[in-house]
């Protein structure tokens, strides 16, 4: 079995998000799209809102924006419904970001899965990139699966059980391993 050596200097640096609504809405926009296409749609989405809105629009502003304008920015009807549901759940208190620091990863997953369109992959991305949790292994991510295959020189892409077995030596540091596997795949492009 190959021994993996991670050069932390080469890994993407993580900084916690101050706007959890924005982080989750971005994740929804990026679902199942290439980074370039998703970035274009995200920019069009943000541009819909008045310039006086600094950064990302509030949940209230999103709900006030006509659906047709959101669709014209490039969001599918399904993603519009997901982002609007997310906004509603932030406003009505279903999602309470100030509780996140006291919650474990599984509690946060369960909390966020109440939102239409948020699944395990989205919660994993949120835990890693918005909350900077140290032990997240997004086994449903295709690049992660390919990264395991490449790093451990496997003939086929591993299933979840195999990935979790291989990742045991990184218990407590799965996010670092995930960043390494993504970096490994990016190097091959």
For the chain, the domains span 20-130, 137-187
Angle at 89 between CA 79 and CA 62, to 5 degrees: 55
pLDDT of amino acid 1? 58
pLDDT of amino acid 51? 73
What does the pLDDT average to over 56-78?
96
What does the pLDDT average to over 69-80?
97
CB 147 within 8 A of CB 141: no
CB 136 within 8 A of CB 175: yes
pTM of the model: 0.88
Query: What is the spatial distance between Cα 69 and Cα 79, in angstroms, rounded to a whole number?
Result: 13
Average pLDDT, the chain: 93
pLDDT of amino acid 17? 93
- Banded model confidence at residue 2, pLDDT cuts 50, 70, 90: low
Query: What is the spatial distance between Cα 1 and Cα 86, in angstroms, rounded to a whole number?
Result: 43
Query: What is the spatial distance between Cα 25 and Cα 45, in angstroms, rounded to a whole number?
Result: 10
pLDDT of amino acid 178? 97
Q: Can you tell me whether residue 161 is helix, strand or coil?
A: helix
- Banded model confidence at residue 187, pLDDT cuts 50, 70, 90: confident
pLDDT of amino acid 7? 84
What does the pLDDT average to over 157-179?
96
What does the pLDDT average to over 56-82?
96
Domain 20-130, second-level architecture:
Orthogonal Bundle (1.10)
- Banded model confidence at residue 3, pLDDT cuts 50, 70, 90: confident
What does the pLDDT average to over 165-179?
96
């Amino acid at each position: 079995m190959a021994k993996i050596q991670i050069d932390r200097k080469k890994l993407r640096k993580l900084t916690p998000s101050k706007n959890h609504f924005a982080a989750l809405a971005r994740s929804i926009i990026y679902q199942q799209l290439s980074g370039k296409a998703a970035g274009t749609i995200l920019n069009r989405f943000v541009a819909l809102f008045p310039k006086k809105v600094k950064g990302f629009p509030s949940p209230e502003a999103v709900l006030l924006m006509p659906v047709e304008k959101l669709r014209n920015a490039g969001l599918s009807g399904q993603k519009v419904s997901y982002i609007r549901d997310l906004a509603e759940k932030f406003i009505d208190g279903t999602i309470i970001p100030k509780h996140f620091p006291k919650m474990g990863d599984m509690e946060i997953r369960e909390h966020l899965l109440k939102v239409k369109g948020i699944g395990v992959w989205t919660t994993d991305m949120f835990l890693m990139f918005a909350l900077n949790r140290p032990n997240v292994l997004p086994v449903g991510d295709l690049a992660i699966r390919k990264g395991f295959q490449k790093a451990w020189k496997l003939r086929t892409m591993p299933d979840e059980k195999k990935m979790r077995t291989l990742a045991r030596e990184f218990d407590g540091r799965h996010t670092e391993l995930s960043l390494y596997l993504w970096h490994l795949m990016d190097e091959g492009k």
